[in-house]
Amino acid sequence: MTDPKFEQLRERLAEIDDLRKAATLLFWDQRVKMPPNGAPARAEALATVSRLAQERFVSDDIGRLLDDLRGLEESSDYDSFEASLIRVTRRDYEKATRVPPELVGEMRRAATLALAAWGPAKQESNFEALRPHLETNLELRHRYVGCFEPAEETYDVLLDDYEPNMKTAEVREIFMELKEELLPLVEEIGEAGAIDDSVVRSNFEPGKQRELGLEIVRRLGYTDEEWRLDETPHPFMSSPGAGDIRLTTTYRPNDLSSLFAMMHEFGHGVYEWGVDPSLARTPLGSGVSLGLHESQSRTWENLVGRSRSFWRFFYPRLQEIFSEQLGSVDEETFYRAINRVHPSLIRIDADEVTYNMHIILRFELEQELIENRLAVRDLPEAWNARMEEYLGVEVPDDARGVLQDMHWAGGSLGYFPTYSLGNVMSVQIWERAVEDLGDLDQRFERGEFGELREWLREHLYRLGRKFTPQETIERVTGSRIDAKPYLRYLREKLAPQHA
């Protein structure tokens, strides 16, 4: 017997989800298909659809239904669909109703303007052109934080939007542990001398990259019935509905990064693909947090896609496709080249080890900004000093420094740490999978990835947003977030080949 109030809530949420999915599709189309002059009209359409979804969600009706359903929630099993839907919706609702719609609108407008300024500012390496926009974004974030109960740290409120329930202090502790271990590792590897990776910096025809990339993701689980692949300058994954997973990638003619970008986005896609179909058209029907999402993109990109056993299977095919460039390069040389650790300027091109230092730097600067310990105008100097300190890299200009990422222009403060949290969790989850499945390398060498995918689906993807990120990681691994497995993995994988 279903509770009629619960059915009412479910119907409302399904409509709201449809509107959000429509917005997702409008956004996907904007980035993939739309001619440039469609931008102003599209901005209006997107704003309208998003506003309708938001208005419906924060309505008094939803609040009343949530109140009426307290009894059902308490009498239902914590894991049940009913209790989970009411619990998660209540949390979302309580957050959403605290922020006045005018402030939401102002933040969106400011971010749109700042993003429009970011492109040219980066192009001309002109921080001053972006500075006023960043100051506005920061001031709006202060107002946003003011909408919530005072937290232990101001940054907690921002972080919660991307990694719900996670506290700044907990992230800081994990990052301190990473820093302590990774700074000496970077130095150790640096002293051993750089690995030559010129074999993967050659001419690789984009059409052939696409062909091989598709062969790879098909082996991992991509099918033409449920997935598609397009080209955009910044790769992303989008899922405008169940059974509809869209990846994009970018093909650089001088390296093979598209293959890893495709596996990365596949990881985001397969998480969405694996959510229990019964959660579709509810707020539970997607990945639970950016950190856990990133744990899966990094799993498929790095733990699978940069492993020896993976290339034992795919390297002959790669050699066949690019025989001129790689025909006479042995597998080990190739493997070392794609796993080279080398401090560099750009986060998105960084290796598995130094990547985390790029994140820690941003995490620290964000806290200083929101706590008014650092002025926006002093940001470039602080950035450059810390790049020197952490990676020994001298930043030649702001385009390759503080202006490289779009996140701050887009108003996303508190987002960056989720990348490294994802790295950390990826290995915790991986170790549990290996405990259950046994040696994965033998399967990868035969081109078999289905068992890993199905294990992840069963233990993680299926859950969607039913539980908090912390509950989710504990259910999957039996422990809280813990940096040790990840640090062990990095050292075991990457130190020997640089010795």
Rounded CA-CA distance 481/476 in Å is 11
In whole angstroms, the minimum distance from the beta carbon of 294 to Zn ion comes to 5
265 is catalytic: yes
Helices H / strands E in the chain, number of each: 22, 3
Give the interface with Zn ion as residue ranges (CB under 5 A): 297
Give me the residues paired with residue 237 across strands.
247
Q: Which two tokens stand for residue 79?
A: 């894991």
CA distances from 454 to 259, 271, 460, 472 (A): 22, 11, 10, 17
Residue 290 Cβ, how far from Zn ion at the closest point, in Å? 8
Q: Kindly give the residue spans of alpha helices, DSSP state H, lying in 203-328.
A: 206-220, 257-274, 290-298, 308-321, 323-326
Closer by beta carbon to Zn ion, 260 or else 315: 260
Which residue, 126 or 250, is less far from Zn ion as judged by CB? 250
Listed as own residue / partner, the contacts of 28-32 with beta carbons closer than 8 Å and 24 or more positions apart are 28/238, 28/240, 28/246, 31/232, 31/236, 31/248, 32/230, 32/232, 32/246, 32/248
Q: Hunting for tokens 């609040």 — which residue is that?
A: 63
Question: Residue 235 Cβ, how far from Zn ion at the closest point, in Å?
Answer: 9
Q: State in angstroms the smallest separation of the CB of 297 from Zn ion.
A: 4
d(CA 334, CA 284): 42
Closest residue to Zn ion, based on beta-carbon distance: 297
Q: Work out how close the CB of 268 gets to Zn ion at its nearest, in angstroms, rounded to a whole number.
A: 6
Q: How far is the CB of 384 from Zn ion (least distance, A)?
A: 26
Give 244 or 265: the residue with its C-beta nearer to Zn ion. Answer: 265
Helices (H), ranges, 124-205? 127-145, 154-160, 168-191
Structure tokens at 434: 């290996």
Q: Are 246 and 228 in contact (CB under 8 A)?
A: yes
Per-residue tokens: 120:
């040219």
For Zn ion, give the closer residue by CB, 137 or 297: 297
Pick the closer one to Zn ion by CB: 83 or 292.
292
For residue 301, the minimal CB distance to Zn ion (Å) is 8
Nearer to Zn ion among residue 121 and residue 263 (C-beta): 263
Closest to 429 in 3D by CA, of 294, 336, 315: 294
In terms of CB distance, is 157 or 171 closer to Zn ion? Answer: 171
Catalytic, out of 73, 163, 265, 352: 265
- Residue 241 pairs in a beta bridge with 244
| Active site residue ranges | 265
